[in-house]
């Protein structure tokens, strides 16, 4: 996989994807958005990829939309509001939907500042690990007079609750990596120099696990916030009904009985 604005590396069953515009703090130009879309679509087709690790090059993860991108202006006769709404629907939404529905687990290594839509990208992982020096800031409203987008209100409200989500969006106050882990916005916080190894370790572990079960966990936890208890029980039963007939379950039970590590099948 070769892209102009992404650096991709295969490490066993893990595909490591780095946002690669360090001079611009990996801000989301139209080119980077399209590379992210194309990369996610390629992962859908690549049977060798069993987990994905997403991070950024340089000193920041992603500074949000690139406001200096020449394509960031409306066409003649189009208002700025019309342009922003159409750009979100045409370019940002496909990236968000594709990266939150990858056919394999996604680990995000938050290696520095995430702002604006970069926050959303950082929180799309099944597991997000932050460096201690990392921070997340929703600067849309206080700095630009806009509302958060690319799913930021979804992630913040579901993980932090309405009161904290509103405070973060209204004030733009950065949340440090350590605080983000403490309040449940991300899964873990580690020292800066430990981030690459820890994130890769997690991605490798997930790449060796039962993919169908991992995807079921993603779906069940995503649905839990809006489902009644009875509805969630039914979703769990449906998932077990599917998973109980998979080779992975048979291998897991066999390995447990034989007191050995399970060897789950490839994609």
In this prediction, residue 1 carries a pLDDT of: 77
Q: What is the pLDDT of residues 37-67, one digit of tens each?
A: 999 999 999 999 999 999 999 999 999 999 8
Average pLDDT over residues 81-110: 97
In this prediction, residue 266 carries a pLDDT of: 72
When computed from its CA atoms, the radius of gyration of the chain, rounded to whole angstroms, is 19
Q: What is the pLDDT of residues 219-261, one digit of tens each?
A: 999 999 899 999 999 999 999 999 999 999 999 999 999 999 9
Residue of 72 and 157 predicted with greater confidence: 157
Tokens describing residue 254? 């066999």
CB 94 within 8 A of CB 86: no
Q: Which of 35, 28, 30 is nearest to 7 (CA)?
A: 35
In this prediction, residue 265 carries a pLDDT of: 84
In this prediction, residue 243 carries a pLDDT of: 97
Which residues, 6 or more positions from 104, have their beta carbon under 8 angstroms from its beta carbon? 43, 49, 50, 51, 52, 206, 207, 211, 214, 267
The structure's pTM equals: 0.95
In this prediction, residue 186 carries a pLDDT of: 98
Q: What is the pLDDT of residues 23-33, one digit of tens each?
A: 999 999 999 99
In this prediction, residue 72 carries a pLDDT of: 85
Domain ranges of the chain: 6-207, 211-258
Domain 6-207 has CATH 3.90.226.10: yes
Cβ burial 232-250 (10 Å sphere, 16+ → b, else e): eeebeeebeeebeebebbe
Q: How many helices (H) and strands (E) does the chain have?
A: 11, 10
Put the strands of the sheet holding 135-137 in their side by side order: 60-62, 113-115, 135-137, 175-176
- The CA–CA distances, whole Å, from 117 to 45, 66, 159, 233, 247 equal 26, 10, 17, 34, 39
Q: What is the pLDDT of residues 168-217, one digit of tens each?
A: 999 999 999 999 999 999 999 999 999 999 999 999 999 999 999 999 99
């Amino acid at each position: 996989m070769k892209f102009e604005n992404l650096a991709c590396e295969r490490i066993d069953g893990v595909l490591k994807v780095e946002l690669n515009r360090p001079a611009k703090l990996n801000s989301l130009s139209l080119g980077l958005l399209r590379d992210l879309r194309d990369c996610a679509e390629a992962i859908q087709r690549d049977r060798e990829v069993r987990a994905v690790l997403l991070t950024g090059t340089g000193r920041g993860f992603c500074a949000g939309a690139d406001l200096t991108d020449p394509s960031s202006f409306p066409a003649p006769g189009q208002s700025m509001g019309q342009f922003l709404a159409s750009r979100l629907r045409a370019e940002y939404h496909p990236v968000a939907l594709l990266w939150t529905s990858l056919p394999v687990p996604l680990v995000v290594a938050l290696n520095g500042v995430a702002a604006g839509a970069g926050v959303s990208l950082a929180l799309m992982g099944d597991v997000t690990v932050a460096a201690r020096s990392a921070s997340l800031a929703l600067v849309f409203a206080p700095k630009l007079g806009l509302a958060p987008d690319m799913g930021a209100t979804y992630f913040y409200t579901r993980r932090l609750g309405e009161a904290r989500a509103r405070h973060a969006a209204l004030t733009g106050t950065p949340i440090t990596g350590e605080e983000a882990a403490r309040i449940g916005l991300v899964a873990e916080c580690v020292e800066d120099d430990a981030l690459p190894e820890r994130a890769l370790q997690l991605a490798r572990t997930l790449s060796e696990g039962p993919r169908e079960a991992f995807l079921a966990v993603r779906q069940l936890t995503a649905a839990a916030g809006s489902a009644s208890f009875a509805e969630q029980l039914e979703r769990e039963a449906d998932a077990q009904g599917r998973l109980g007939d998979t080779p992975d379950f048979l291998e897991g039970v066999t390995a447990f009985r034989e007191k050995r590590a399970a060897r789950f099948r490839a994609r």
